[in-house]
Amino acid sequence: MNFLLRISNKVSNAEKTLAIFLLGLMILLSFLQVVLRNIFSTGILWIDPLLRNFVLWIAFLGASLATHNEKNINVDIFSRFLPERWKHFTKTVIYIFAALVSFYLLKASITFLLDEYESETILFTIGQVNIFSWWMQIIVPIGFGMMLFRFLLFALQYFIKAVFPQTTKVVS
Amino acid sequence: METVLIVIVILLLALFGSPLFAIIGTIALLAFHSAGIDMSAVIVELNRLANTPTLIAIPLFTFAGYILAESKSPQRIVGLARALFGWFPGGLAIVSLVSCAIFTAFTGASGVTIIALGGLLYPILLKENYPEKFSLGLMTTSGSLGLLFPPSLPIILYGLVAKISIDKLFVAGFIPGMLLLIFLSIYSVRHGIKSEIPKIQFTFKNVFEAVKNSAWEIPLPFIVIGGIYGGLFTVTEAAAITAFYVVVVEVFIYRDLTLFKDVPKIMHESMVLVGAILIILGTALGLTNYLIDAEVPMKLFTYIQELITSKILFLILLNIFLLIVGMMMDIFSATIVVVPLIIPIALAYGVDPVHLGIIFLVNLEIGYVTPPVGLNLFISSYRFQKPISEIYTSTLPFILIRLIILILVTYIPQLSLFLVNLLGIE
C-alpha cells in the first residue's frame, strides 16, 4: 500500500513539473506570437498548433493532478449529510465506479491512438522535423491510465477506512 | 425498464459526488455503444480540445486570475475604490461591490472573491459600523458579481459551447451587468444613510496616492476590455497579454510574488482547476455530438411544446430550471452540460442565443447564493465563521434585488441586445 502511494506521489510530482513547464512555455509563446503578429505583422507558423495541443496536455495533466488531490468537480448533494463511516463506504463505491469509467475511456483512447499511429498524420513541422499527431495525443491514454490508477488506490484506501475506522488514514 | 434503472443508478452516483467527467463519460460511452458506434468516437470528439483556438484562453486567464488573487492586488484595488467612492453615503458598500465585480471578472470562479476580498472588506465594513447582517449578505452576494464583464471565464466558455461570438456576448453583458451593480449600490446607499455611517473625506491627495499605488494594475482592465470591445485583439490574444503582464507586474514590479517559489505553486493550483474543467468539457464534447446527431434537443422540444405554448411561459420555467441548476452545479459544469441542450429549444421558442447567454449567466450567478445548497453560502459561512442559517437570512434581500434584475433581463431582450445591434458586432 505504502509502495503504491509513493508511486502516486512520485508521478504527481512529475506531472506537476511538466504542467508548470508547459504552462510557462504557453505564456511565453502566446505572448511572443501576439507581439509578432500585432507589431511586426508576422508570426511563427508552428506556435498556434503547438499551443492548441498544449491545452490537451494541460487538460490531462491537470485532471490527473485534480484526481490525485481529490479535486475533481462533482455535484455532491447527499454525502455531506452522511455519518463519517457511511461517507467512506459511498466514496469506495464512487471511486470504483470512476475507475471503471476510466478503464473504458483508457481502452477507447488506445484504439484511437493506434488509429492515429497507423494513419501517420503530420500535425505540423518545426524546421525539418515532422510532428506526428499521435505524439501529442499520447497524453490521452496516459492521462486516463493515471486516473484509473488513482481511483483504484482511493477506492482501496476508503474501503479499508470504512471497514477498520480506527487504524488507517487516507493519504494522497 | 432497463434504461430507467440505468438512469437512476447514474443519477444516484452523480448526486453522491462522483466526478462529473465520469458521469458524462459513462453516458457518452453508453450512448455510442448502444448506437453501434465504436467507443473510440468519444475520444475522437475529446481530441477537439486540441483543435479549438479559443480554448487557449482558459488556462491563461485562470492562471492570471490566480496570480492576482495571491498577490497584494486585492488590497490595492480596494484602496483605489475607497479613494474614489468612499465619500459617498454607503460608499464602502459600493467599494465592496465594485472591487468584487472587477475581481470576479478576472478570477471567474466566484468562491475566490469571497476568500480573497471578503477577508479584507468584511472587517472594514464592521469597523465602519455597517450592520453585521448587511455586511455578511453583501460579501456573500458580491462573490458572484461581475461574471458578465470581460474577461469572465464563464462567458468565454458559454461562447465556446454555444458556438457564438464571445465579443458579442461581452457587449451584451454590459448593460445587465451595470444594472446589477447600480441596483445593489442603490440598496447599499439607502442602508448607509439609514445606519448613519460616517463618510471618508474625498481628497485629491488620497486619490493620487491610491492611483500611484495601483498604477500598474489600472491598465489591466483597459487592455482587456478595450482590446476586446474595440476589436484590437481576440480573446485568446487578450489572455496571452494578461497572463504575461500580470507575471511581470506582480513578480518584477510589485515583488509580491517570487518567480521560482510562488509562481510555480500558483501555476500548479490553477492547472488543477483547468484540468478539472477541461476533462469535463472533453468528455462532454462526445456526448453533445451524439445528442445532436440523435436530435435529442428537438425531441425534447416537441415534447415540451405540447405542455408549454408561449414564449413567456417557457422563459419563466427556464428561469426556475436554471436557478435549481445553478444551486446544484458550479457554473463551468452547468455551462458544459446544460447549454447544448437548451440552446436549440430556446431558439425554437424564438429566444436569441446571445440573450439566452445573458439570462443563463445572471441565473447561475443567483444560483450560487440560492439556499439551501448554493456553493457561495458555504464558502461564506466557512470564511466568516458564521452558521449557515445566518448566511441564509442575511443574503435574502440581496437575492431579491438580483431576482428583480433577472426578471428585467429575461423579459426585456433589448437590455442585452441593444448595444450589440447599436455597435453592429458580428
Report residue A116: phi and psi, to 5°: -65, -35
Burial of A2 (0-12, 13-18, 19+ CB in 10 A): exposed
CA distance from start to end of chain A: 12
A41 reaches B (C-beta below 8 A): no
Residues 134-163 of A with CB under 8 A from B: 136-137, 140
CB B276, CB B270: distance < 8 Å: no
pLDDT at residue A167, rounded to an integer: 59
| Residue A170: band (very low, low, confident or very high) from pLDDT cuts 50, 70, 90 | low
Residue A172 above 60 pLDDT?
no
pLDDT at residue B371, rounded to an integer: 82
Contact residues, chain B, for A112 at CB < 8 Å: 40, 43-44, 47
Contact residues, chain A, for B52 at CB < 8 Å: 52, 55
pLDDT at residue B75, rounded to an integer: 84
CB B40, CB A104: distance < 8 Å: no
User: A140–B63: do the CB atoms touch at under 8 Å?
Assistant: no
| Residue A169: band (very low, low, confident or very high) from pLDDT cuts 50, 70, 90 | low
**Using N-to-C axis directions, what is the helix angle for B91-107 and B166-194, rounded to 10°?**
160
* Measured distance CA(B260)–CA(B251) in Å, rounded: 10
How far does A105 lie from chain B, in Å, by closest CA? 8
Contact residues, chain A, for B273 at CB < 8 Å: 62, 66, 71
CB A136, CB B50: distance < 8 Å: yes
pLDDT at residue B233, rounded to an integer: 80
A58 reaches B (C-beta below 8 A): yes
A172 reaches B (C-beta below 8 A): no
CB B60, CB A52: distance < 8 Å: no
pLDDT at residue A18, rounded to an integer: 96
pLDDT at residue B213, rounded to an integer: 87
- Coil, strand or helix at A73: coil
Q: What is the pLDDT along chain B (426 residues), one digit of tens a residue?
A: 788 999 999 999 988 889 989 999 999 999 999 888 999 999 999 999 998 888 898 899 889 988 988 888 888 888 888 888 878 778 888 888 988 888 888 877 667 788 778 877 888 888 888 889 999 999 998 888 888 988 888 999 999 899 898 888 988 999 999 999 999 999 988 888 887 777 777 888 888 888 888 888 888 878 877 777 777 788 888 889 999 999 999 999 999 999 999 999 999 999 998 998 899 989 988 888 888 888 888 888 888 888 888 889 999 999 999 998 888 787 888 898 899 889 989 998 999 999 999 999 999 989 888 887 787 888 888 888 888 889 999 999 999 999 999 999 999 999 999 988 887 766
Residue A11 above 90 pLDDT?
yes
User: A105–B271: do the CB atoms touch at under 8 Å?
Assistant: no
Mutate to test the interface with A, among B13, B15, B21, B39 (most CBs of A within 10 A): B21
How far does A152 lie from chain B, in Å, by closest CA? 14
* Measured distance CA(A172)–CA(B68) in Å, rounded: 28
- Coil, strand or helix at A129: strand
Contact residues, chain B, for A31 at CB < 8 Å: 240-241, 243-244
CB B288, CB B28: distance < 8 Å: no
From the list B362, B340, B233, B350, the residue with the least C-alpha distance to B292 is B340
Element (H, E) at A131: strand A129-132
Write B419-423 long-range contacts (CB < 8 A, 24+). B419/B171, B419/B172, B419/B174, B419/B175, B420/B168, B420/B171, B420/B172, B420/B354, B423/B171
How far does B110 lie from chain A, in Å, by closest CA? 15
Residues 6+ apart with CB under 8 A from B408: B179, B415
Residues 6+ apart with CB under 8 A from A142: A60
Nearest by CB to A66, which of B46, B239, B276? B276
Strand-strand pairing, A129-132 and B16-19: unpaired
**The pTM is what?**
0.87
* Measured distance CA(B153)–CA(A103) in Å, rounded: 31
How far does A172 lie from chain B, in Å, by closest CA? 15
pLDDT at residue B251, rounded to an integer: 95
Instruction: Return the higher-pLDDT residue of A107 and A43.
Output: A107
Size of interface A-B (CB pairs under 8 A): 199
Contact residues, chain A, for B42 at CB < 8 Å: 105, 108
CB B172, CB B417: distance < 8 Å: yes
Residues 222-281 of B with CB under 8 A from A: 233, 236-237, 239-241, 243-244, 247, 264, 267-268, 270-281
B-chain residue closest to A51, CA distance: B56
